Amino acid sequence: MAQPIDFYFDFSSPYGYFMSEKIDGVAAGFNRKVRWHPILLGVVYAVSEGKPLVDLPLKGDYARRDMARTARFHGIDFHPPTPFPIATQAAARAYYWLHDQDCTLARQFAHAAYRAYFQRGQNISDPAQVVAVAQTLGVDGAALAAALQTDPVKARLKTACADAIAKGVFGSPYVVIDGEAFWGVDRLPQIERWLDTGRF
């Protein structure tokens, strides 16, 4: 069995959201599984000198158009949310807390959180909204709300971000296949060829 693919993303990243709607299906076509790793772009950008796209002169205006067009190109439901971007500690911590109990549920939560924000504008920077999303999947809301405040859950996300930086992750989405890194949903054609042919 081939190694799983690693998929790094921030819950506030539109291109990460687009990739989240595609990567499992693409991987399955080549009998590959995907490990999901939510991270905080703010932490990564402190190392890689990145900035939120929409804050950049000229590029920000382009990015807003490109996000919407890229969603249409891929046939993905996308409604630019406000506020944007947002802090995603709560969503990422919830993901890891769920993952340590039930990895399938964690994957469902990740999809639900991304769709809540990018399809319906639900502000998942608010821990209460994160809990509400999880509750739609049958999660115990009080237990999750309490867990989000605990040091081990906070430490879990810190470790995940540090691990990602150590592996060279500098943006979202960032996909690693057998040691080869692909940044951006626009690398899907190269990802598919890599999975199909191996190194090219």
- Interface ranges with its own copies (CB under 8 A): 47-51, 56-59, 61-62, 65-66, 69-70, 72-73, 165, 168-171, 180-181, 183-184, 186-187, 189-190, 193, 200
Amino acid symbol at 168: G
Closer Cβ to its own copies, 120 or 193, answer by number? 193
For 156, how many CA atoms within 13 A lie in the half-sphere containing its CB? Answer: 21
What is the Cα–Cα distance from 196 to 177, expressed in whole angstroms? 12
Q: Are 148 and 90 in contact (CB under 8 A)?
A: yes
Minimum CB separation of residue 127 from its own copies in Å reads 30
Minimum CB separation of residue 169 from its own copies in Å reads 8
Amino acid symbol at 75: G
Closer Cβ to its own copies, 100 or 196, answer by number? 196
**Which residue(s) pair with 6 in the sheet?**
35, 176
Closer Cβ to its own copies, 116 or 169, answer by number? 169
Omega cis (within 30) before 173: yes
CA dihedral for 198, 27, 35, 11, sign (positive or negative): positive
Closer Cβ to its own copies, 48 or 149, answer by number? 48
Minimum CB separation of residue 47 from its own copies in Å reads 6
Phi, psi (deg, nearest 5) at residue 175: -120, 135
Minimum CB separation of residue 115 from its own copies in Å reads 22
Closer Cβ to its own copies, 109 or 182, answer by number? 182
Closer Cβ to its own copies, 15 or 36, answer by number? 15
- Is residue 5 helix, strand or coil? strand
Q: Are 81 and 117 in contact (CB under 8 A)?
A: yes
